[in-house]
Structure 1
């Protein structure tokens, strides 16, 4: 049985997390495809563990992927990746939808990976409707690294859009980010692919993963800022 970690985990700033990603893709010899797949594996395991559902068949997940493709297609770095992923999902008969709020009505669970740890500023179109749906839904939501609309350092907005968004679950990839200190739900660390040498260089702890699990649950109050 998976048990919550009792170790006090340090957080990684957005700058340190970005540098760590680059390190993993250089000295770590990972491709961006591999990192995305390993991160996705840990998130899917957390979602199955916390709220068992068949994510590949939920309309909300397909809609979320559609949103992600929109972001990726604006960045030349991700064009090839998004084309390949779209083809793979098409072959798996994963449905894509354009109306996120409508898709939520037929979903069991939502995975929030709209924004990453580099997000800052105001939520711009077409995302306000998505964040509003997150605030209004009664469905369980698993956020990846950062609940969308939250500031990576200071957490949820004090007022306005996103201020009422509190996901049930948070999956911090590699290590928690500073906003995790403001999170009140069930918190997991995922991404079992960092070497002890790299963790030591960036001065954070690797949690004690059990068996073949790609995630570990960390207890409330177990995060401290570097």
Structure 2
């Protein structure tokens, strides 16, 4: 399927995991992809290599998020990479990981989470809107942590809740331009980078047994949902949080 030919996309945090899967999927469908990374230059280079071997076009762009001047640095590179073309798709995937339960999270960890997971996507979108073509797509990665009570992820879940609220509100603001704004909420997703986590005795089986579709998710499962939302087929979907967890913790299965 080449339904994104001629379109341009920015994917943040695309050096590995879900971000890499999203970037390669959008490129496989024809988009030119700007592969953002914060520190993992080798990973971003590998993502670009995967895209180019598949016949696509991509460039890697470094900008650490959550620090002063992050968005300005990012978009200086984005505008150079676009070379006068409009932007069609923005995927806010980059995120800081959970800092821990309430009793152990420090003020610095809390502030870092919100700087990366909330402030950066907000101002990335603000900066992207003048470049975004009418009919464009804004997609931000959330988490099923917003609908589940996990004491180890309180502050993380708070950041993702803010993202979901932002997406609904922004959809109502920019819809007059035909721009859709949605969030995608993955659940437990195994990638090459976190595979060791799921090797803990019994963990993968417990998660699968707690998931309606009876397995762990993979990065491609999430990337396919993002690619759909980026396509013309999703033109009438906006302001939504799409659960891409395979039905994690929907309730008892028996």
Q: Report the TM-score, using the length of structure 1 for normalisation.
A: 0.40
**If each structure's strand is expressed as a fraction of its own residues, which one has the higher value?**
2
* Larger-Rg structure: 2
Greater RCO, 1 or 2 (C-alpha within 8 Å, sep 6+): 1
